[in-house]
Structure 1
C-alpha cells in the first residue's frame, strides 16, 4: 500500500479536524486540557506555516486523508519545539505512517534550528509511546513549564 505525506493544504482542514477529534475521542482525549480541543484544530493549515518555523504534515492513502502530525515552537521558544497532534485513523495504523510522520517532523525541526523536541500524550496511547521511545524520546517526570495540555499524563523530550 502506498501513501503520501505532504504539508497540509487549506481544503484539508475539515478532514484533519474530524480525524483529530475522532481519534482523540477514541483514546479519551476529550475536553479542556487535551490537544483535540485546541482552537487550532479547526484550521490547522492557518496555524502551521514554514515562515513560523512550523509545519503540519498530512498522510494520505489512495487520496484519502488518514492522519497527520505537526511541529511548532513550544511556548514561543526558539530552541524547543513540540511534536503536535500525531493522530492516525485505526485503519492506517501499523503501516509505518506514524514513524514516517514523526521522522519528517523531526527533520523539519532540525532544519529550523530547534535543539530539543517535547511532546505530551496519554498513558493509554501505548503504540505512540513505544514509537517515541524507539525514536529517542526520554520520559520526563513532569511536563515542561508552559504546557497547555493539562490532561496529558506522559511527557517526553528528545535532543535533536
Structure 2
C-alpha cells in the first residue's frame, strides 16, 4: 500500500473533493445551509482556486481523495489575511498525521503568497479539528472577520503568519 500524498488539486478531482466535503459535513451533523455544503464553488474547486494567491490541496491514497484543504484571500475583508478553507478529512484519514501535514502545507503556501494572518471558521463540535488548529498556533477570536457566508460556523480562529 502506498503512503498517502498531499498534492495540488487537479480538474479531475472536483467530483471526489465535493463528495468528501459533503460526506464529512453530513457525518458530523452540520447544517447544509450556512456551511461549505452549500457553497457554489464546491463542485468546481479546481477552477475556483485557479487564481492568484489561492491554492487547494488534496490527500490522495491509492487513487482516492481522502482529505482536502486550501487557502485563499479572506472574502469581503480589507487586509492581507487569508482563510483556511474547506479542510475536511474522511474518517479513514484521521489520526494519521495528515491533518498536521496539510496544515503545514497550507500555512507555508500562505506565507509564500505573502499573507500576514490566516483566519478560519469551524463548528463548536468539531473538537478534534480545533485541537489541531490550537496545536498549530491558531487562537480563538471573538467574532467573524470578513463575510464568508458561513453563518452556521460560529467558532472563529486566527494565526499570525
For 2:121, the equivalent position in structure 1 comes to: 120
Query: What secondary structure is seen at the aligned counterpart in 2 of 1:52?
Result: coil
Deviation of 1:78 (Å): 5.4
Whether the 8 Å contact between 2:74 and 2:146 is mirrored in structure 1 is no
For 1:59, the equivalent position in structure 2 comes to: 59
Whether the 8 Å contact between 2:60 and 2:66 is mirrored in structure 1 is yes
Deviation of 1:35 (Å): 1.3
In the alignment, the residues of structure 2 paired with residue 40 and residue 29 of structure 1 have an alpha-carbon distance, to the nearest angstrom, of 18
In the alignment, the residues of structure 2 paired with residue 142 and residue 78 of structure 1 have an alpha-carbon distance, to the nearest angstrom, of 16
Alignment of 1:129 with 2:130, yes or no, is yes
Alignment of 1:33 with 2:34, yes or no, is yes
In the alignment, the residues of structure 1 paired with residue 153 and residue 5 of structure 2 have an alpha-carbon distance, to the nearest angstrom, of 30
* Greater CA drift, 94-103 or 140-149: 140-149
In the alignment, the residues of structure 1 paired with residue 127 and residue 105 of structure 2 have an alpha-carbon distance, to the nearest angstrom, of 21
TM-score by length of 2: 0.94
| Paired positions, count | 159
The RMSD of aligned alpha carbons is 1.3
Q: Which runs of 5+ in 2 are unaligned?
A: none
Q: Which runs of 5+ in 1 are unaligned?
A: none
Alignment of 1:148 with 2:149, yes or no, is yes
Alignment of 1:17 with 2:18, yes or no, is yes
Query: What secondary structure is seen at the aligned counterpart in 2 of 1:2?
Result: coil
For 1:71, the equivalent position in structure 2 comes to: 71
Query: What secondary structure is seen at the aligned counterpart in 2 of 1:33?
Result: coil
In the alignment, the residues of structure 2 paired with residue 138 and residue 22 of structure 1 have an alpha-carbon distance, to the nearest angstrom, of 27
For 2:100, the equivalent position in structure 1 comes to: 99
Deviation of 1:139 (Å): 0.2
In the alignment, the residues of structure 1 paired with residue 32 and residue 63 of structure 2 have an alpha-carbon distance, to the nearest angstrom, of 30
Q: Deviations over 1:77-103 (max 9, x none)?
A: 551000001101101100111111111
* Greater CA drift, 14-23 or 145-154: 145-154
